[in-house]
Structure 1
């Protein structure tokens, strides 16, 4: 196991423990399942600098603890990114497989849609989709899935073409193994390791995209890190610690995901074995 995997795992594990700890605190300690706890607004404690009045990282313009809004934003960002990445990968695997084994209509149609989506910047497509679906959590997820699945579909298509030409797969198809069983028992397990690498890398991309939409005012939650950065920039001179803290926390998570993804890619590359 290389150093990138180790460092990435340590960083990502620390963020996951942080997010799980916040969820336990929000839903079981300070709140309940039906009424979870969220950072409390207190305008009398607006822009308290870190270390003052018991606030480790200070407060924002609404008097909310920066530690608490960072925690809520972390849980939200990880939840959205995992949901979007897993959904996009699932759609991409299915469409990638069908583009190899399906009819010409499916092949041409999938290629056309993928190319159209890749022509335009993903952030613009997401903005257009959200202008139709409206600003909401599920609208955000839908917009990010729309822009995310084509990348997985291209990878799945290439891997499916490689696997489907292997001798044992051709033999299975020759003896009449059903396509669905072949897909679930052979194709998916064969391409899953490579897809997992791209899912890990894709999570970081979704976090950045979600933050960009939140910064533009199109986020699905007020605790989106992008929305927090948008607020923090308005008081950049008065409270620079907000931008610095938010940027550092987001950068740490992105670096951890990228290190883990790059490490897994090198580890699973058969050429590295020689």
Structure 2
């Protein structure tokens, strides 16, 4: 007696659940370049936001940008014109002056708020000038090699042989005092470390398979450098630029302190410290308040740079 085969009813496919936005970003099989780029950016942000000190540094930077943009609305008094008759060298909290006044009767808080614009301007201009120069020099030297590498790196070594502030003083002395010349001098002295980093990154990728494939496709050396080599150096360069912002602020403040940066009556923090050093024993707030502002902003950039280093290079953070 033969048994008839038992036929099972077809299995119903499991209910398909729509993919959430987080799952779409964390997918290990991205369906497009946009999804892959957004996924990498999301992972970078997760690593960055896990570092509370880095988030604190980002908040300080955002606060600096906010204060610089809305300085006219936030400053309670005129930063340039003071009240010599009745508001000279008032201590913090006196007569509505939260941080006190200086020897010209000007509100220190208002001068600090407007001075944030100069600080942010110097930082941005130096980064815009120095970082691309260093990136191009380092990428060209690392990819070309030979005598081009030797010449460019020896020029870089010459700049690195001098302390940054001393070299900036020399250039400002030759160009003349002023905020524009100070920016140029700081930018001239800031590009060599970026060139070193870009060269090291280029040396690690110039013999990669994808660079060889691009070269076999007929791409010119300039196209390879600008389209394929330089983007690989950007993450390390961004981290180094962020970490250097504190040094740039201190260099600009040093030039202002020596009278070679922003000229009076501009509310530059270094110049404010220089004008207040005569009253450091009795009216300590005149020089202390801008010093605290420089300390907080420099600390914020350092914390932000450390967080970016860990987020952009997971090997450093052990992830």
TM value normalised by structure 2: 0.78
| Structural mapping, 1:157-236, within 5 Å | 157-222=199-264, 223-236=267-280
Q: Report which stretch shifted further, 100-109 or 146-155.
A: 100-109
Q: Which moved more, 1:105-114 or 1:69-78?
A: 105-114
User: SS in structure 2 opposite 1:43?
Assistant: coil
Q: Deviations along 1:38-70, whole A, 9 cap, x unmatched?
A: 531331221111111221111111111101111
Q: Which moved more, 1:55-64 or 1:108-117?
A: 108-117
Aligned-pair distance for 1:185? 2.5
Q: How far apart, CA to CA, are the structure 2 residues paired with 1:193 and 1:229?
A: 35
User: In 2 relative to 1, CA 168–17 (structure 1 residues): closer, same or farther, beyond 3 Å?
Assistant: same
Give the Cα–Cα distance (whole angstroms) in 1 for the partners of residues 164 and 176 of structure 2: 17
Which consecutive residues of structure 1, in runs of 5 or more, have no partner in the other structure?
31-36
Does 2:70 align with 1:21?
Answer: yes
Provide the aligned C-alpha RMSD in A: 2.0
Higher relative contact order (CA 8 A, sep 6+): 1
SS of equivalent to 1:40: coil
Q: Against the structure 1 CA distance between its residues 172 and 23, is the aligned structure 2 distance closer, same or farther, given a 3 Å change threshold?
A: farther
Q: Which runs of 5+ in 2 are unaligned?
A: 1-48
Instruction: Please name the residue that 1:4 is paired with.
Output: 53
- Count of matched residue pairs: 266
Q: What is the alpha-carbon distance in structure 1 between the residues aligned to residue 153 and residue 227 of structure 2?
A: 26
Supply the distance in 1 between the matched residues of 2:286 and 2:262 (Cα, whole angstroms): 21
Give the corresponding residue for 2:150: 108
Counterpart Cα distance in 2 of 1:221 and 1:96: 35
User: How far apart are 1:23 and its partner, in Å?
Assistant: 5.4
Which residues in structure 2 correspond to 1:125-140 (within 5 Å)?
A: 125-140=167-182
TM-score of the pair, normalised by structure 1: 0.90
Query: 1 or 2, which has the higher helix percentage?
Result: 1
In the other structure, the counterpart of 1:33 is none
Match of 1:151 in 2: 193
